[in-house]
Structure 1
């Protein structure tokens, strides 16, 4: 049950990050528009695929996925700011990568404690993606 709760938190953070990144993809402006538009698209598309993988892992553990309104309450990622500049978007998403990485590492500890190697492997894969995403976002921040 602890593992399912950890996976629900991962799913919640992934959902918020997905919507936030897609919104930034639509709304980014400035001299780096094209490169950021494409970077955000690449990241939200990856997140979309991960949502299904995480949800199906929860189902394979015998639990139903919470309704969206309950699931989203578990998220640690904030999305209250609007009308951000491209630079602010990059800073915000870089911070969010740190948040989701922490959520993933917490889930990994639980999966390893419960000796669930399949879930641990999935989480390790997501950690790898988010660490790369953080690097890409932070590196883009330096050019603006």
Structure 2
């Protein structure tokens, strides 16, 4: 049974497309952050290992929240690696970077997501989905805080 929540089918499709892109970006950022947690070395190993641990756990929790938002709109969630890879705008790395480069890469990825979220919030609002707009607004605050923490290590 499809959801009858006061948003037409066309607008639900637009919102689900946005949420699917956000899910893919968040998944790839989670995966990258977790990989950096495993592979960080150098003088700042301990604090960066702990920082990346906190960040990938937070990202992992957000994946379920994003997926549940899609399901609450009555649609299925993209759930294969290939589906997510096709939906993300984030780039994979060929090699493991040095510790400071890890921070830079993660900060840039969070900032990419922040810019996308600003656009997506406007789009879901125009589609009449204030619930998703509110959800994405809360998520943007989390990405802004994380990007700030990452940038602070680079000063």
Number of residues of Structure 1 aligned to a counterpart in Structure 2: 142
What root-mean-square deviation, in Å, do the aligned CA atoms of Structure 1 and Structure 2 show?
1.0
Pairwise CA distance, 1:118: 1.3
SS at match of 1:141: coil
Return the alpha-carbon distance in structure 2 between the equivalents of residues 138 and 115 of structure 1: 35
Per-residue deviation, residues 8-43 of structure 1 (Å, max 9, x unmatched): 000000000000000001100111111111111111
Question: Structure 1 stretches of 5 or more lacking a match?
Answer: none
Structure-1 residue corresponding to 2:101: 88
> Contact between 2:30 and 2:59, CA under 8 Å: does it hold in 1?
yes
> Contact between 1:6 and 1:106, CA under 8 Å: does it hold in 2?
no
TM-score (norm 1): 0.94
Structure with the largest fraction of helix = 1
> Contact between 2:25 and 2:89, CA under 8 Å: does it hold in 1?
yes
Question: Structure 2 stretches of 5 or more lacking a match?
Answer: 1-12
Pairwise CA distance, 1:103: 2.1
Q: Flag as ranges the 4+ runs of structure 1 deviating above 2 A.
A: none
TM-score (norm 2): 0.88
